[in-house]
Amino acid sequence: MTGDEMRAQPPLGLLAELTHRCPLRCPYCSNPTELHRASRELDAATWGRIFAEASALGVLQVHLSGGEPTARRDLPAIIRHAVSAGLYTNLITSGVLTDERRFNELVEAGLDHVQLSVQDAEAGSADRIGGYAGGHSRKLAFAPIVRAAGLPLTLNAVVHRQNLDRLPDLIELALALGAGRLEVAHVQYYGWALRNRAALLPTRAQLDAATDTVNRARDELKGRLVIDYVVPDYYATLPKACMGGWGRQFLAVSPTGLALPCHAAESLPGFTFPDLRTTSLQDAWNNSEAFNRFRGTAWMPEPCRGCARKEQDWGGCRCQAFALTGDAANTDPACALSPHHALLDLAVREAAEATPDFTYREMGRAPAPAAG
């Protein structure tokens, strides 16, 4: 089947954004700039129905995320729903709200895996980046609770100019905390991160040193630590296959129940995303205009339309295309063939002159748009 004829295949994974509430205020947070309040969140029973529909559709894993998912007091009930739907459950957490008693409730509910985010390896810098005093030490206390319960642990480190030089320390931290996997992900620039881009973009020298560090550590730590490495688009000449292609492998559900082809898609204008309070997940995935708009290759403009890579990267990231060019249907500017590729070089040059100050994520305050 070609991309032009692409019909919806079953999704593999579901990102369940249970809440936008979070005690941290990371300046690169991937939540939309318009954060939803607790009163609009789906209840546990509705999540249960969505998990059952997801499982029937072919989903194998649910990533329980946010915001901070442990801000929900009913998280054990939500996990139980996912487990009874037959889903593998992965909790993506900052770890700052969960003591041993609460964590054991999650384990008893059937939690399978934990991904713990860290902002840096050095406490003062980590707390500054996360905008939460004492957060780093709470994370260090949380990781042993996970390991003592026998659950596998992944450490997530979002990296950027202000912590990238400590990547070797982040690798040491992952080992010290007993993580089996470390995700080193460069910031993706939309929403809050786009507003803070000038303070976050790494230099070329930092990026090259980090790539060397990852390659060396992968060799040295084979069998002890798996390192996933997501490289930054701003030094790329080829885009990533964002989400494995729009509506191909993954979907996200927002705290209020909108089905999204990607967690950042809610910020795209001109879309009516399916509301899972009134629409089934199957109908949303297979039949909705929002999921079908960028599925396959028929929607592509040139240069993607005639390109041999169009079924490898699917034209890159729609949210980045919109954030930088104002049109989500454009080729991702991360591609050197994009007529907008020079915007990335311009941003790198501007960042070299910028101050390290952040605009922190806050409920009820959307950041002013950054220049594209």
- Measured from the CB of residue 123, what is the shortest distance to ligand SF4 in angstroms? 16
Task: Kindly state whether residue 29 participates in binding ligand SF4, applying the rule CB under 6 A.
Answer: yes
H or E stretch covering 93: strand 88-93
Task: Kindly state whether residue 97 participates in binding ligand SF4, applying the rule CB under 6 A.
Answer: no
- Measured from the CB of residue 164, what is the shortest distance to ligand SF4 in angstroms? 17
DSSP 3-state assignment of 141? Answer: helix
Q: Which is nearer to ligand SF4, 258 or 300 (CB)?
A: 300
Task: Kindly state whether residue 332 participates in binding ligand SF4, applying the rule CB under 6 A.
Answer: yes
Task: Kindly state whether residue 318 participates in binding ligand SF4, applying the rule CB under 6 A.
Answer: no
165 CB-contact burial (10 Å; exposed 0-12 / middle 13-18 / buried 19+):
middle
Nearest-angstrom CA–CA distance, 242 and 265: 12
Name the one range near ligand SF4 by CB under 6 A: 21-29, 102-110, 221-229, 285-293: 21-29
Query: Which residues contact residue 150 at a Cβ distance below 8 angstroms, ignoring those fewer than 6 apart?
Result: none
CA dihedral 82, 85, 89, 95 (to 10 degrees): 10
Residue whose C-alpha is closest to residue 65's, from 110, 113, 131? 113
Task: Kindly state whether residue 230 participates in binding ligand SF4, applying the rule CB under 6 A.
Answer: no
Task: Kindly state whether residue 162 participates in binding ligand SF4, applying the rule CB under 6 A.
Answer: no
Name the one range near ligand SF4 by CB under 6 A: 102-110, 159-167, 319-327, 328-336: 328-336
Q: Which is nearer to ligand SF4, 65 or 288 (CB)?
A: 65
Nearest-angstrom CA–CA distance, 91 and 21: 15
| Residues recorded for the chain | 372
φ, ψ for residue 244, nearest 5 deg: 70, 20
Task: Kindly state whether residue 304 participates in binding ligand SF4, applying the rule CB under 6 A.
Answer: yes
Alpha-carbon dihedral sign for residues 66, 242, 204, 194: negative
- Measured from the CB of residue 353, what is the shortest distance to ligand SF4 in angstroms? 26
Residue with tokens 């905390």: 177
Nearest-angstrom CA–CA distance, 336 and 318: 16
Q: Which of 9, 10, 12, 25 binds ligand SF4 (CB under 6 A)?
A: 25
Q: Which of 80, 136, 310, 318 binds ligand SF4 (CB under 6 A)?
A: 310
Nearest-angstrom CA–CA distance, 70 and 177: 20
Task: Kindly state whether residue 328 participates in binding ligand SF4, applying the rule CB under 6 A.
Answer: no
- Measured from the CB of residue 99, what is the shortest distance to ligand SF4 in angstroms? 18
Please give the size of the binding site for ligand SF4, defined by CB under 6 A: 26
What are the tokens at 122?
Answer: 């050095």
Task: Kindly state whether residue 335 participates in binding ligand SF4, applying the rule CB under 6 A.
Answer: yes
Task: Kindly state whether residue 127 participates in binding ligand SF4, applying the rule CB under 6 A.
Answer: no
DSSP 3-state assignment of 92? Answer: strand
Residue whose C-alpha is closest to residue 161's, from 123, 190, 187? 187
Task: Kindly state whether residue 117 participates in binding ligand SF4, applying the rule CB under 6 A.
Answer: yes
- Measured from the CB of residue 120, what is the shortest distance to ligand SF4 in angstroms? 12
Task: Kindly state whether residue 191 participates in binding ligand SF4, applying the rule CB under 6 A.
Answer: no
Residue whose C-alpha is closest to residue 182's, from 200, 201, 205, 159? 159
Q: Which of 55, 61, 70, 94 binds ligand SF4 (CB under 6 A)?
A: 94
Task: Kindly state whether residue 316 participates in binding ligand SF4, applying the rule CB under 6 A.
Answer: yes
Task: Kindly state whether residue 35 participates in binding ligand SF4, applying the rule CB under 6 A.
Answer: no
Task: Kindly state whether residue 288 participates in binding ligand SF4, applying the rule CB under 6 A.
Answer: no
Task: Kindly state whether residue 71 participates in binding ligand SF4, applying the rule CB under 6 A.
Answer: no
Q: Which of 6, 15, 18, 24 binds ligand SF4 (CB under 6 A)?
A: 24
Residue whose C-alpha is closest to residue 258's, from 284, 227, 286? 284
What are the DSSP E strand ranges found in 153-302?
153-159, 181-186, 226-230, 250-253, 259-260
Task: Kindly state whether residue 309 participates in binding ligand SF4, applying the rule CB under 6 A.
Answer: yes
- Footprint of ligand SF4 (CB under 6 A): 22, 24-26, 29, 31, 66-68, 94, 117, 238-239, 303-304, 307, 309-310, 313, 315-316, 331-332, 335, 337, 361
